[in-house]
Amino acid sequence: DTAVSQTPKYLVTQMGNDKSIKCEQNLGHDTMYWYKQDSKKFLKIMFSYNNKELIINETVPNRFSPKSPDKAHLNLHINSLELGDSAVYFCASSQSFSDTQYFGPGTRLTVL
Amino acid sequence: QKEVEQDPGPLSVPEGAIVSLNCTYSNSAFQYFMWYRQYSRKGPELLMYTYSSGNKEDGRFTAQVDKSSKYISLFIRDSQPSDSATYLCAMSAGGATNKLIFGTGTLLAVQP
């Protein structure tokens, strides 16, 4: 069983489009995260939700909007995609915000 | 200056060698220290988790934290080709947000 899953695994799209990435965890964790990993492998947090409440909102353009319909899901919607949005996006979860984080397999986004 | 510095490598060693991976950091509030391993095109997986200063051993892996020097290390004994991956250090100050700050990762190649 996959603990943290993401769909799609690959996403190729044109500049200006709107796209969504979905994340689900079956670990019963309360806290979920979105990270962005750039071409140099640098992993940086974007958002964190605890029990569906936004906890961390790093300096991320307004075009990025996370949505947590329930504790097990955290989706990421991106409007008006730009070339610089090309990266691998990782979802993660932890039991609470003070516990270790477990990562999903990533979604490789390419904006043309 | 980045909060966490890590030599990106690549580091190439022969099978059976002892590998030493290191990170330095500038934020004295960091209390939780982690090492993640990331295989190509996969999500990071937690290897070691240490609180405050000291050593922790798990099989062939040993994590060391020296808070006075703001320096952490991961040692891999009897390295195997299957250890070839990118190793990311991560740390946090804990608290209400538990924001993880990652190093840029060190690419390790263990040659058979």
Instruction: Name the residue of chain A whose CA is nearest to B101's CA.
Output: A44
Cα–Cα dist B37/A42, whole Å? 13
Q: What is the pLDDT of residue B96?
A: 67
Residues B56-85 have a mean pLDDT of 96
Residue A98 has pLDDT above 80, yes or no: no
Q: Write out the residues of chain B at the interface with chain A, using a CB-CB cutoff of 8 A.
A: 8, 34, 36, 38, 41-46, 49, 86, 88, 94-100, 102, 104-105
Residue B97 has pLDDT above 80, yes or no: no
Q: pLDDT tier at A59 (50, 70, 90 boundaries)?
A: confident
Distance, first Cα to last Cα, chain A: 34
Residue A110 has pLDDT above 70, yes or no: yes
Which residue from B42, B97, B102 is facing A55, i.e. has the nearest CB? B97
Torsions phi, psi for A87 (to 5 deg): 180, 180
Q: pLDDT tier at B2 (50, 70, 90 boundaries)?
A: confident
Residue A64 has pLDDT above 90, yes or no: yes
Q: What is the pLDDT of residue B51?
A: 87
Alpha-helical regions (H) of B32-91 = none
